Amino acid sequence: MDLVIGRVAKSHGVRGEVVVEIRTDDPEARFARGSALRARLPKAGGEKTFTVTAARHHAGRLLLSLDGVADRTAADALRGTLFLIDSSQVDSGTDPDEFYDHELEGLPVSTVDGTDVGVLETVLHMPGGEILSVRTPDGREVLIPFVREIVPTVTRERIEIDPPDGLLDVEA
């Protein structure tokens, strides 16, 4: 399974730099000079490997220079490119409160009283926080804020929620 560690948001300047939205807990190592980045290109849909020739922070953003990307036109063509690693390359370790998304996806979700809610499909990373996208047994998608008050128990085997009134209700 592939994990996204970054996404090209846009080009920066005229020398081929790209602005990268970081989606990894170790950007200094993953985007270090000389690193090979496996990239899924947005338009062609194929994959390509880029070598980082320079990385720097500017105004709170990560700027990368990549081998073979020498001007703004080439950088613009990379908008939306995803940088990927294989999930087997990461492990959340032994901390019981630390998980990677791929370790949670596919887990059963139930309420604190044992009622089956469904299966976690994905963790959505939104500006206001993380949201759990759960597929119910009848095929609906339920979005659950990933906060301790609503999701008090997360283990490597299951997710338990304590939903406020109305969160799981079906609209007519």
- Assign residue 58 the CATH number of its domain: 2.40.30.60
Least confident of 52-61, 83-92, 110-119, 151-160: 83-92
Determine the pLDDT at residue 114: 93
User: Quick check: is 95 in a domain?
Assistant: no
106 in a domain, yes or no? yes
Mean pLDDT, range 18-40, rounded to an integer? 91
Same-domain check for residues 73 and 7: yes
The total domain count for the chain is 2
CATH number of the CATH domain containing 153: 2.30.30.240
Q: Is there a single domain that holds both residue 84 and residue 114?
A: no
Percent of the chain with pLDDT over 70: 92
82 and 134 inside one domain? no
Determine, yes or no, domain membership for 148: yes
Residue 9's nearest CA partner among 32, 38, 55, 42 is 42
Whether residue 9 is contained in a domain is answered as: yes
Please give the Cα distance from 4 to 11 (Å, whole number).
19
What residues contact 120, with CB distance under 8 A and at least 6 apart?
104, 105, 106, 107, 108, 109, 132, 133, 134, 159
Both 75 and 105 in one domain: the answer is no
My answer on whether 65 and 139 are in the same domain is no
Q: How confident is the prediction for the chain on average, in pLDDT? A: 89
- Is 156 a domain residue? yes
Confidence of residue 69 (pLDDT cuts 50, 70, 90): very high
Residue 171 in domain: no
> In the structure, what pLDDT confidence band is assigned to residue 172 with cuts at 50, 70 and 90?
very low
Confidence of residue 96 (pLDDT cuts 50, 70, 90): low
Find the domain containing 11 and state its range: 2-88
User: Binning pLDDT at 50, 70 and 90, where does residue 65 land?
Assistant: very high
- Say yes or no: 7 and 84 in one domain: yes
Q: Which is more confidently placed, 100 or 46?
A: 46
Q: pLDDT tens for residues 112-149?
A: 999 999 999 998 888 788 899 999 999 999 999 999 99
Residues 6, 79: Cα–Cα separation, whole Å:
12
